[in-house]
Amino acid sequence: GFDPMGFSYAFDIRWLREAELKHGRICMLATVGWIATDLGMRVSDNAAFQVNTIDAHLSMVKFGSMAQMLVWLGFAELFGFMAMIRMYQGKTDRAAGDFGFRALYPKDEAGQVQMQLKELRNGRLAMLAYGGIVTAAVLTGKPWPFFAVAEQRVGASSSRSAFCGSLKTQAVRGSAMAAKAEMERSASLPFLPKPAGLTGLVGEEVGFDPLAFAESFDPRWLREAELKHGRVCMVATVGFVAEQFMTFPGFTPTPNANEAIYSANPAGWAALLFLAGFIESTSYGGKMTMLDMFEGKRDPGNFEFGSGFLKG
């Protein structure tokens, strides 16, 4: 019951626990990384990496690594944010901080509660430890362990914790959660619910729709667009390579395929646009909107092109 500032009255407790676990996990990694760097471990022999831990941030900014790290971390944060939104909406029984990783995770409920408690305690310790490490490094200007530390004997902690809630309370809560009807989760992203609207489509067993497009648009239209873009890109890839060796009549030979768009004459562009527009307008029999495109039970992407060769 530790909440002296009353944060749980002002914020959703699930959001607070999510933030606590995230910061704890980051600090556990950061603590190990700081100590490993001070002990001489490097990920590369590049001169940019041959600096002390305090100067590492500025060195990585100059080297260009921070931008790449920002992109990948932002990508991970996006999925985490979507998982939290689904959790708040009640579309999944996901617990705060659960991203579906089950490596070394106990099978029994009591073991799971113990594992969660250990992660929480170690995360809190790591947040304090990392703050202390950074402070000591800046004040002393030395690598870890900074100065001599006398060995101290620490007593074993109690199996119950008023700080985190007793095991009995946690077990009761876990039983209540297990008693609920288990919600279906996405096979590809287990921290998100199984997407609605993909039933009957190829790939539905994967359950990949993290932005929930299928809830806002007709999934048949989405599959139609996906297949069309895939087919266009397959043809474009072949054309990009073949353009260096062959040229259509009326077009200017251009060895560099990147410059072909600038060297094509207006008549050629007009012919291509006309052909693309003709195919686009006639393939659907004049029905080109989501409202009438699939009248007659037409399957997405099926234009009956070469279907006689596919019947087995």
- Per-residue pLDDT tens over the stretch 36-76: 988 888 887 877 778 888 888 888 888 878 888 899 999 98
pLDDT at 168: 43
Q: Position 42: which residue type?
A: R
Q: What percent of the chain has pLDDT above 70?
A: 84
User: 18: number of CA atoms within 13 Å, CB side?
Assistant: 19
Which ranges of the chain would DSSP assign to H, the alpha helix? 7-10, 13-38, 56-63, 65-88, 109-140, 167-179, 219-242, 260-263, 266-282
**Has residue 167 got a pLDDT over 60?**
no
Measured distance CA(83)–CA(189) in Å, rounded: 9
Confidence of residue 306 (pLDDT cuts 50, 70, 90): low
Taking Cα atoms as reference points, which of 244, 238, 225 lies closest to residue 300? 225
> For 69-73, 85-89, 138-142, 260-264, which range has the lowest pLDDT when averaged over its residues?
260-264
How many Å apart are CA 1 and CA 241, to the nearest integer? 66
Average pLDDT over residues 180-185: 58
Dist. CA 60–CA 66, nearest whole Å: 6
Amino acid at 263: S
pLDDT at 147 over 60: yes
CA–CA separation, 147 and 104 (whole Å)? 36
Residue 137: both structure tokens together: 């490094």
Interatomic CA distance for residues 3 and 9, integer angstroms = 9
**Residue burial 74-105, b: 16+ Cβ < 10 Å; e: rest:** eeeeeeeebbbebbeeebbbbbbbbeeeeeee
Tokens of 161: 């914790």
Look at residue 118 and tell me whether its pLDDT is greater than 60: yes
* Cα dihedral 244/245/247/251 (nearest 10): 40
Are residues 23 and 131 in contact, defined by beta-carbon separation less than 8 angstroms?
no
pLDDT band, very low/low/confident/very high, at 311 (cuts 50, 70, 90): low
Among 50-64, 107-121, 182-196, the least confident range? 182-196
